Every structure is written in structure tokens, then in C-alpha cells.
Amino acid sequence: MSLDFLPVLEGLPELLHGAIVTVKITATSLVLGCIFGLLVGMGRLDRSKRLRYGICTAYVTFIRGTPLLVQLFLLFFGLPQFDILLPAFLCGVLGLGIYSGAYVSEIVRGAIQSIDKGQMEAARSLGMSSGKAMRTIILPQAVVRMIPPLGNEFIALIKNSALVSLLTIADLMHEGQKIISVSYRSLEVYLAVALVYLVLTTLTGMALQKVEQRLRAGGAV
């Protein structure tokens, strides 16, 4: 068996375009996931507010307990049955963002709980409200501790984004499948796609390491 990477070289512009779309989807989804994660993570910290805690817990339980592909299909194929038609790109971003939010919420909750409770008590004794103490004292320290697990989540999200190709989104995987459909060189194309994903995840990991080092050097911990 001989390998022929000519179709990959000819389709390189399409693969690069797909990589850009993958980065856009992943970055937007992570921002959305961080917003959901922060709200849900904070919501699960106070058990005295049972309704909010119950809703947040149900969200995390459902999202973490069901496959991402099923969640994407619920948005893309399920919502139209209620006359809610969303563009494929939006369905992909929402699906990945909601999925990521469940995991980010646990990162947020764990990071906040890792901060010494005495700092909150000291802030309250100085007359700060719990909300102000959380924003100005607890969260800045917690954010630094969130960076490594958030980096892992971002890398996982890049790889999970391959599933949005099933929603006809022209991401990296979808462009690779288009090349295969005309060249029939699946091994070579999937090797190239895997290499591009590897480059994306490696660069992301390196960038996040630098961010973490700068935050720690700035005395944020």
C-alpha cells in the first residue's frame, strides 16, 4: 500500500479554512461555557437557595450524563419541531457552550472552595458585602487556580468540536470529509486532519502556560 498526500496538498486551503472555523467555534463556545460555568458554579455554592441550587445541579447532571452528540442533535433536529430554526453554526456553538459550561461550573466551584474561608470572613469583618468580597478578593485568586483546568477544557473542546461537522458546519473535520469524498484517500486525509488538531491543541497549551506564568508572576495567587 502506498500513501498519496497529493489530495491533501491540493485541499490544504480548505483544511486551513476549516481550522479557522474550528478555532472560531471553539473560542466562542468557551466564552459561552465560561459564562454558564460561572453562573452555575456560583449557584451551586449556596445550598440555602434550594431552587437555584436544584436547577444548577439538574443542569450539570443532565449535561455531564448525556453524550455531546445527542445534545447537538437535540438542538439541530429537535428544536425545529417547535418551529425554532437556528443556523447550524449557532447550534454548534450553543451545544458546545452548554456542554462546556457544565464542566467549567465544577472548575469554578472547586477553585472558589479552595480559597481559605478565613479570607471571606476577614473581608466581612471589615464591612464588605459578600458580593464585593467575592469579586475583589476571592475570584481574582480563584481565576489563577482555574487556568490549568480551563486549559484542559479548552483543549478538550477543540477535539470535541469535530462533532459539529455532523451539523453540516464547514469545520476542519467537515472539510476533510469533503476531500475524502472526491479523492477516496481517507487515511492520508485523516492523518492530515489529526496533525492540524495536534497543532491547534499544542499551541493552545503553550499559550495557556504563558498566561498562567504571567498571572502567577504578577502575584495574583
Give how many domains the chain has, as a whole number.
1
Least confident of 23-32, 157-166, 204-213: 204-213
Q: Which of 1-15, 20-34, 136-150, 207-221 has the highest mean pLDDT?
A: 20-34
Q: Please indicate, yes or no, if residue 45 is contained in any of the structural domains.
A: yes
Of residues 127 and 173, more confidence is placed in: 173
- pLDDT at residue 39, as a whole number: 93
Mean pLDDT of the chain: 90
Domain range holding 165? 6-217
Residue 145, domain member (yes or no): yes
pLDDT, one tens digit per residue, over 52-90 is 999 999 999 999 999 999 999 999 999 999 999 999 999
- pLDDT, mean of residues 145-157: 90
Residue 9: predicted pLDDT? 93
Q: What is the pLDDT of residue 221?
A: 47
| pLDDT value for 166 | 93
Is the pLDDT at 220 greater than 80? The verdict is no
3-state SS record for the chain: CCCCCHHHHHCHHHHHHHHHHHHHHHHHHHHHHHHHHHHHHHHCCCCCCHHHHHHHHHHHHHHHHCCHHHHHHHHHHHHHHHCCCCCHHHHHHHHHHHHHHHHHHHHHHHHHHHCCHHHHHHHHHCCCCHHHHHHHHHHHHHHHHHHHHHHHHHHHHHHHHHHHHHHCCCCHHHHHHHHHHHHCCHHHHHHHHHHHHHHHHHHHHHHHHHHHHHHHHCCCC
Lowest-confidence segment of 34-38, 193-197, 211-215 by average pLDDT: 211-215
Residue 185 lies in a domain: yes
Indicate yes or no: pTM above 0.85: yes
Residue 122 pLDDT: 86
Q: Is residue 12 part of a domain?
A: yes
What is the structure's pLDDT at 92?
A: 96
**Residue 86 confidence (pLDDT):** 93
User: Does residue 1 belong to any structural domain of this protein?
Assistant: no
CA dihedral 39, 88, 27, 31 (to 10 degrees): -10
Specify the CATH number for the domain of residue 45.
1.10.3720.10
Looking at per-residue confidence, does 143 or 215 come out higher? 143
